[in-house]
């Protein structure tokens, strides 16, 4: 998973990683918002969901203490991160800031 994850985030296209858990209420609220973001931005963003229960070493590596935690990567670098649910328009503007 780890080397694969490195390949995924090492991309010119911004990659939004959603660290989530099945038991997490706010994570369930975030899922349809992420779908709307993807529908609106299309190929200009990649959205990857990581289940913290199934990928504990990865969650630990990025010091994910609470879910949902979203981290935006570009060219393998962390550009932004936040825990909690954000609205679609806020997420889109954050992603757009990191496109170039």
Burial of 42 (0-12, 13-18, 19+ CB in 10 A): exposed
27 noted as active-site residue? yes
In the set 8, 11, 13, 24, the catalytic residue is 24
Among 16, 17, 27, 45, the one annotated catalytic = 27
Alpha-carbon dihedral 41, 45, 46, 47, rounded to 10 degrees? -60
Catalytic residues: 24, 27
């Amino acid at each position: 998973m780890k080397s694969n994850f490195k390949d995924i985030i090492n991309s010119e296209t911004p990659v939004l990683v959603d660290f989530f858990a099945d038991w997490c209420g706010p994570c369930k609220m975030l899922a349809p918002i992420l779908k709307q973001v993807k529908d609106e931005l299309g190929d200009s963003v990649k959205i990857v969901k990581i289940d913290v229960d199934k990928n504990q070493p990865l969650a630990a590596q990025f010091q994910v203490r609470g879910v949902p935690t979203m981290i935006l990567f570009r060219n393998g670098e962390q550009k932004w991160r936040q825990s909690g649910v954000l609205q679609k328009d806020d997420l889109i503007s954050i992603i757009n800031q990191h496109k170039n």
